[in-house]
């Protein structure tokens, strides 16, 4: 799709890893589009984050919790049967679904709650779509003894019931949000309203690499452990870097986490997979880059699904975690500078990939990485047997089995 | 600063009373009713009009204004139509300042240059854009000031003395002091706290300071107006409109008169604020 305003592509930078600038911008994307009430807090957070990221004590604490609480490093797994079945490139999974709480979300939550403690905050709020980030937030809040409120769209509360139950068991209060379609966007609005009201006591633990600066940078840095480990592991296993790295993109935190350490490796092709929902012709998809346009929402400028008046559309995906009408600003920039290719995968393709992996490898993936997997299944057979694909298997599918069972018409 | 805004604040100050700023959502419940409401406001005693621009995701607004925005969008309101409301009002009233209040995305998508030209042409005097803090001044604030449109900034309880100069630097028209941390339509804090905050802001600026968030009754208006240069009423008006509608959200014969009666009462409140009889 050609957009007129981007006929003049921005120049290629020397490094794709230098952003954001001090105002939190990745090219025209990112920034700090928030109400004045939040601005002082965001500046405090930035100052605290700047201190923490160069503080060896912080790094040591993060690594210790990573190793003994999350279970890092997560394995790199060669999917032998899937590779044989597809008959092309060798497929490796970065097994983030084996982390404590079942997805990559915990990497970011541990980092941010350590920051919240340093800032003296006494209450945690979070938004969640699939519930993975809500569970991870509730988990770290329990681990650090802080009360936690999770905002979740009413539609998602229904379709991700197991995660709602987990959050409640962990002591979090789950507040269903009925505004709009009752999905992730609406949950985020409500979390921002809570934050603006309780600004003194409350830390907003954003789950994806989006929102006002410094969140996109901070979340990326906490998630980059995925790519850093994967790089070492693939070098150990194959003696070289992969030819292709693939990850699913909703807000984009698991994707930026695995992409970022590979961005300056010229020989590595990188593909982000958006939720194509029921197809890009109507409104029932969440392909913000493929079918959206630049706009400002939730504190940052990025690609959004919106109408000609700048009203945000609701979008649709079978996967609650991808059901968001925007995308992290760094992805928007990586698209415009041409470093990462973004493609859509439809609901039914993700569903097929979900079943393929379950049967061939005995791994039940979440519906989010099932989108990445569907793209891998398309590309692997067209690649040589000596080529290597690295995919981020960002979450496990336990939370999705009822949704999938219902669609497939399986008995209870 | 547009001459109209300055003139209005000067004239009202000469009457020895605070300015009454009234907010309503453009297009709520429909374009025609909303135009009738807008025309009724100055007649009922409003001095400055804040014209809300509906947005699908109003992150800083409480339920009342969220619902008003949804009603307006459902009735087909757009930024272009909100500018049209201003233009139609301006054809009949050349003296009441109009401030557009909303979020940045509809303006960004409309195109900043084109928007500023059309806003100026429609007789708009100022902008309050909730999600554009001073750190984002290059986006809209500076271009608006260059065109001669006021950019009115919100100051909040979290805006401390260290930050105030930055917030006030490119602010023009007036300063809108949000009396609490939170969303629109919450409860009103202690008058003494507000008076202290207004005094604090006034040590940093010559601009008039208007206070809003939580002002619902004539009595609130009177109490706040004792220390502030102006009183902003929003949610109370939006609630008044909502309470007059049919179950499907349509206007009734009570819609416009209800707003008139409320604003007349608020106007009496600001006129009693400093125990100086005006008019």
Bridge partners of A148, per DSSP, are A124
Residue of B62, B57, B216, B92 whose CA lies nearest to A194: B62
Cα separation of B169 and B164, whole Å?
8
Please indicate whether, in this complex, the C-beta atoms of B133 and A200 are within 8 angstroms of each other: no
Please indicate whether, in this complex, the C-beta atoms of B163 and A296 are within 8 angstroms of each other: no
Task: State the pLDDT at residue A9.
Answer: 58
Q: Kindly list the residues from chain A whose CB atom is less than 8 angstroms away from the CB atom of residue B60.
A: 35, 37, 192-193, 196
Residue A259 is classified by DSSP as H
Catalytic residues of A: 105, 127, 394
Q: For an interface test with B, which of A309, A314, A324, A326 has the most B Cβ atoms less than 10 Å from its Cβ?
A: A309
pLDDT band at B279 (very low <50, low <70, confident <90, very high): very low
pLDDT band at B158 (very low <50, low <70, confident <90, very high): confident
Task: Please tell me which residue of chain A has the smallest CA distance to B69.
Answer: A311
Q: Kindly list the residues from chain B whose CB atom is less than 8 angstroms away from the CB atom of residue A197.
A: 181-183, 186
Residues of chain A with CATH 3.40.50.1100: 26-64+105-219, 72-103+224-408
Please indicate whether, in this complex, the C-beta atoms of A35 and B131 are within 8 angstroms of each other: yes
Number of H helices, E strands in chain A: 16, 14
List chain B domain ranges: 3-272
Please indicate whether, in this complex, the C-beta atoms of B55 and A36 are within 8 angstroms of each other: no
Task: State the pLDDT at residue A411.
Answer: 59
Cα-trace Rg, chain A: 20
Cα separation of A284 and A265, whole Å?
35
Task: Please tell me which residue of chain A has the smallest CA distance to B110.
Answer: A309
CATH value of A72-103+224-408 in 3.60.70.12, 3.20.20.70, 3.40.50.1100, 3.40.50.300: 3.40.50.1100
Q: Kindly list the residues from chain B whose CB atom is less than 8 angstroms away from the CB atom of residue A178.
A: none
Q: Dihedrals φ, ψ of B224, to 5°? A: -65, -40
Task: State the pLDDT at residue A2.
Answer: 44
Task: Please tell me which residue of chain B has the smallest CA distance to A35.
Answer: B131
pLDDT, one tens digit for every residue, chain A (412 residues): 444 445 555 667 789 999 999 999 999 999 999 999 899 999 999 999 999 999 999 999 999 999 999 999 999 999 999 999 999 999 999 999 999 999 999 999 999 999 999 999 999 999 998 899 999 999 999 999 999 999 999 988 988 888 999 999 999 999 999 887 788 888 999 999 999 899 899 999 999 999 999 999 999 999 999 999 999 999 999 999 999 999 999 999 999 999 999 999 999 999 999 999 999 988 889 999 999 999 999 999 999 999 999 999 988 899 888 888 999 999 999 999 999 999 999 999 999 999 999 999 999 999 999 999 999 999 999 999 999 999 999 999 998 998 899 999 885 5
Longest dimension (CA), chain B: 50
Instruction: Using CA atoms of A120, A125, A130, A131 in order, give the dihedral in degrees to the nearest 10.
Output: 70
pLDDT in tens, B209-221: 999 888 888 888 8
Task: State the pLDDT at residue A10.
Answer: 60
Per CB distance under 8 Å, which residues of A are interface residues toward B?
A: 23, 31-41, 179-180, 185, 189, 192-193, 196-200, 293-299, 301, 304, 306, 308-312
B179 to chain A, minimum CA–CA distance in Å?
11
pLDDT band at B184 (very low <50, low <70, confident <90, very high): confident
Q: Kindly list the residues from chain A whose CB atom is less than 8 angstroms away from the CB atom of residue B55.
A: 310-311
Task: State the pLDDT at residue B1.
Answer: 52
Domain A26-64+105-219 has CATH 3.30.470.20: no
B50 labelled catalytic: yes
The C-alpha angle A76, A82, A87, rounded to 5 degrees, equals 120
Contacts of A57 (CB under 8 A, 6+ apart): none
Please indicate whether, in this complex, the C-beta atoms of A37 and B181 are within 8 angstroms of each other: yes
Cα separation of B231 and B50, whole Å?
12
Classify strands A244-248 and B230-233 as parallel, antiparallel or unpaired.
Answer: unpaired
The C-alpha angle A97, A103, A104, rounded to 5 degrees, equals 110
**Where do runs of H (alpha helix) occur along A24-71?**
39-53, 56-65
Domain B3-272 has CATH 3.40.50.1220: no
pLDDT band at B8 (very low <50, low <70, confident <90, very high): very high
B61 labelled catalytic: yes
Among candidate residues B47, B61, B118, B229, the one labeled active-site is B61
The answer to whether the CB of A290 falls within 8 A of the CB of A332 is no
ipTM confidence score: 0.94
A181 to chain B, minimum CA–CA distance in Å?
12
Please indicate whether, in this complex, the C-beta atoms of B108 and A31 are within 8 angstroms of each other: no
Q: Kindly list the residues from chain B whose CB atom is less than 8 angstroms away from the CB atom of residue A196.
A: 59-60, 181-183
Please indicate whether, in this complex, the C-beta atoms of B178 and A37 are within 8 angstroms of each other: yes
Average pLDDT over residues B15-27: 96
Task: Please tell me which residue of chain B has the smallest CA distance to A313.
Answer: B56
Task: State the pLDDT at residue B121.
Answer: 97
Bridge partners of A342, per DSSP, are A272
The answer to whether the CB of A145 falls within 8 A of the CB of A272 is no
From start to end of A116-207, where are the E strands? 123-128, 148-153, 173-177, 202-204
The answer to whether the CB of A355 falls within 8 A of the CB of A364 is no
Cα separation of A276 and A286, whole Å?
6
Which residue has 């939170």 as its token pair? B182
Per CB distance under 8 Å, which residues of B are interface residues toward A?
A: 55-60, 62, 66, 73, 78-80, 103-110, 130-136, 153-160, 163, 167, 178, 181-183, 186
Task: State the pLDDT at residue B185.
Answer: 73
Please indicate whether, in this complex, the C-beta atoms of A310 and B178 are within 8 angstroms of each other: no
Peptide bond into A132 cis (omega under 30): no
Using the predicted structure, report yes or no on whether residue B278 has a pLDDT greater than 50: no
Q: Among B56, B156, B182, select the one facing A36 at the smallest CB separation.
A: B156
The answer to whether the CB of A102 falls within 8 A of the CB of A397 is no
Residue A394 CB neighbours (<10 A): 32
Please indicate whether, in this complex, the C-beta atoms of A35 and B60 are within 8 angstroms of each other: yes
Q: Among A189, A197, A304, select the one facing B181 at the smallest CB separation.
A: A197
Q: Kindly list the residues from chain B whose CB atom is less than 8 angstroms away from the CB atom of residue A40.
A: 158-160, 163
The answer to whether the CB of A259 falls within 8 A of the CB of A227 is yes
Cα separation of A399 and A250, whole Å?
17
B254 to chain A, minimum CA–CA distance in Å?
28
Task: State the pLDDT at residue B275.
Answer: 66
Q: Among A199, A296, A308, select the one facing B158 at the smallest CB separation.
A: A199
């Amino acid at each position: 799709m050609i957009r007129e305003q981007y006929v003049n592509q921005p120049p290629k930078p020397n490094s794709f890893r230098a952003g954001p600038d001090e105002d939190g911008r990745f090219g025209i994307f990112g920034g700090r589009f928030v109400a004045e009430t939040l601005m002082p807090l965001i500046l405090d957070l930035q100052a605290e984050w700047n201190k923490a990221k160069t503080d060896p004590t912080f790094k040591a604490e993060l690594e210790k919790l990573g190793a003994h609480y999350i279970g890092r490093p997560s394995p790199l797994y060669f999917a032998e049967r899937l590779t044989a079945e597809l008959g092309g490139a060798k497929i490796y999974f970065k097994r983030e679904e084996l982390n404590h709480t079942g997805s990559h979300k915990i990497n970011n939550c541990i980092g941010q709650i350590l920051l919240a403690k340093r800032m003296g905050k006494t209450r945690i709020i979070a938004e969640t779509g699939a519930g993975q980030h809500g569970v991870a937030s509730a988990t770290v809040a329990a681990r650090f003894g802080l009360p936690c409120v999770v905002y979740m769209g009413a539609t998602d509360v229904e379709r991700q019931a197991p995660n709602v139950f987990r959050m409640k068991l962990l002591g979090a209060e789950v507040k269903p949000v009925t505004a709009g379609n009752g999905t992730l966007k609406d949950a985020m609005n409500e979390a921002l309203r809570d934050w603006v009201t309780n600004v003194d006591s409350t830390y907003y633990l954003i789950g994806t690499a989006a929102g006002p600066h410094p969140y996109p940078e901070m979340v990326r840095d906490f998630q980059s452990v995925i790519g850093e480990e994967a790089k070492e592991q693939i070098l150990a296993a194959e003696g070289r870097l992969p030819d292709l790295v693939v990850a699913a993109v909703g807000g984009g935190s698991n994707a930026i986490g695995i992409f970022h350490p590979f961005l300056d490796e010229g020989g590595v092709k990188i593909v982000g997979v958006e939720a194509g929902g029921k197809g890009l012709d109507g409104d029932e998809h969440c392909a913000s880059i493929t079918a959206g346009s630049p706009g400002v929402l939730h504190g940052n400028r990025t690609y959004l699904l919106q109408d000609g008046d700048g009203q945000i559309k609701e979008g649709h995906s079978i996967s609650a975690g991808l059901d968001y009408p925007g995308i992290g600003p760094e992805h928007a920039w990586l698209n415009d500078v041409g470093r990462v290719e973004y493609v859509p995968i439809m609901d039914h393709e993700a569903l097929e990939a979900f079943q393929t992996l379950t049967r061939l490898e005995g791994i039940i993936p979440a519906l989010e990485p099932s989108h990445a997997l569907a793209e891998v299944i398309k590309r692997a057979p067209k690649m040589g047997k000596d080529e290597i694909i690295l995919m981020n298997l960002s979450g496990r599918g336990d939370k999705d089995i009822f949704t999938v069972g219902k669609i497939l018409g399986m008995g209870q | 600063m547009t001459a109209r805004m300055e003139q209005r604040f000067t004239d009202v100050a000469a009457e020895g009373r605070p300015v009454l700023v009234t907010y309503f959502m453009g297009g709520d419940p429909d374009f025609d009713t909303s135009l009738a409401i807008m025309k009724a406001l100055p007649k009922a005693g409003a001095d400055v009009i804040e014209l809300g621009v509906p947005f699908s995701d109003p992150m800083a607004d409480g339920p009342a204004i969220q619902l008003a925005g949804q009603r307006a969008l459902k009735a087909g309101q757009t930024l272009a139509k909100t500018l049209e409301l201003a233009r139609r009002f301006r054809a009949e009233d050349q003296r009441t300042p109009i401030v557009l209040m909303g979020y940045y995305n509809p303006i960004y998508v409309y195109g900043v240059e084109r928007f500023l030209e059309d806003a100026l042409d429609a007789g708009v005097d100022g902008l309050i854009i909730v999600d554009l803090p001073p750190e984002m001044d290059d986006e809209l604030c500076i271009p608006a000031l260059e065109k001669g449109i006021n950019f009115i900034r919100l100051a909040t309880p979290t805006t401390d003395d260290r930050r105030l100069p930055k917030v006030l630097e490119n602010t023009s028209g007036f300063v809108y002091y949000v009396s609490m941390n939170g969303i629109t339509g919450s409860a009103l804090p202690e008058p003494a706290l507000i008076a202290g905050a207004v005094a604090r802001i006034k040590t940093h600026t010559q601009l008039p300071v208007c206070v809003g968030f939580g002002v619902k009754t004539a009595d609130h208006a009177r109490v706040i107006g004792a220390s502030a240069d102006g009183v902003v009423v929003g949610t109370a008006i939006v609630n008044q409109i909502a309470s007059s509608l049919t179950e499907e959200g349509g206007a009734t014969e009570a819609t416009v008169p209800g707003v008139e009666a409320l604003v007349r009462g608020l106007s009496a409140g600001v006129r009693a604020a400093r125990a100086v009889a005006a008019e």
